[in-house]
Chain A
Amino acid sequence: KAGVTQTPRYLIKTRGQQVTLSCSPISGHRSVSWYQQTPGQGLQFLFEYFSETQRNKGNFPGRFSGRQFSNSRSEMNVSTLELGDSALYLCASSKGLGRETQYFGPGTRLLVL
């Protein structure tokens, strides 16, 4: 069974631009969560989607948004990029919303110049 895939793997943007990251969960998984990983802040929860609905949201500004499609694939969007948005963005999938194992993708490394 294929793992969680994320595209693109690397991205360079400039301040003020916007970016869209994509995540394909493991087949059969309906929950997708997004995390931001930085050296200084560690792993920070962004949001979680289940059945095309956002179920939970972390403490990030409204510039960060996401969505989930009927096939469980998910995208996250960051508008008006700031230098501090440079990070590794990780997607994790699980079967449902319960106490289940999350499987992480390799991440998208975003560099904002």
Chain B
Amino acid sequence: QQQVKQSPQSLIVQKGGISIINCAYENTAFDYFPWYQQFPGKGPALLIAIRPDVSEKKEGRFTISFNKSAKQFSLHIMDSQPGDSATYFCAAPKYTNAGKSTFGDGTTLTVKP
């Protein structure tokens, strides 16, 4: 059962452009929404996370936008750089169980120089 749907599957952006990745969730019990970044040969690493009591969170060039009514959240990468080329996963762990996370299928981002 797919509880977190992520799109697009792949994304190609020119250097300096904006990368946007979207996730939609089904379970309203989810209350913590992290994004992970994974480089080839590495495990996923937490990039940025948001809780549903705020609509936006920004850390450097990375911003999460959250729409609770639509049950959607998105990752925006401003001024995308070739070093941002990686696979990005959204996730939705339950409050009482951070270990049991439902991940989106991932978005492979390629930033062209």
Contacts and interface: CB of A to CB of B under 8 A. Distances in A.
Interface string A78-104: 000000000000101010111111111
Contact of A48 (B31, B46, B100, B102): B100
Given A42-B103, A43-B103, A97 B43 contact: no
Contacts of A97: 96-99
A45 B100 contact: yes
A108 B95 CA distance: 28
A63 interface: no
Given A4-B43, A106-B43, A99 B99 contact: no
A104 B44 contact: yes
Contacts, number: 72
- Interface of chain B: mostly helix, strand, loop or mixed: strand
A48 B101 CA distance: 10
A99 B89 contact: no
Interface of B: 31-32, 34, 36, 41-46, 49, 89, 93, 95-106
Interface of A: 4, 31-33, 35, 42-43, 45, 48, 50, 55-56, 58, 90, 92, 94, 96-107
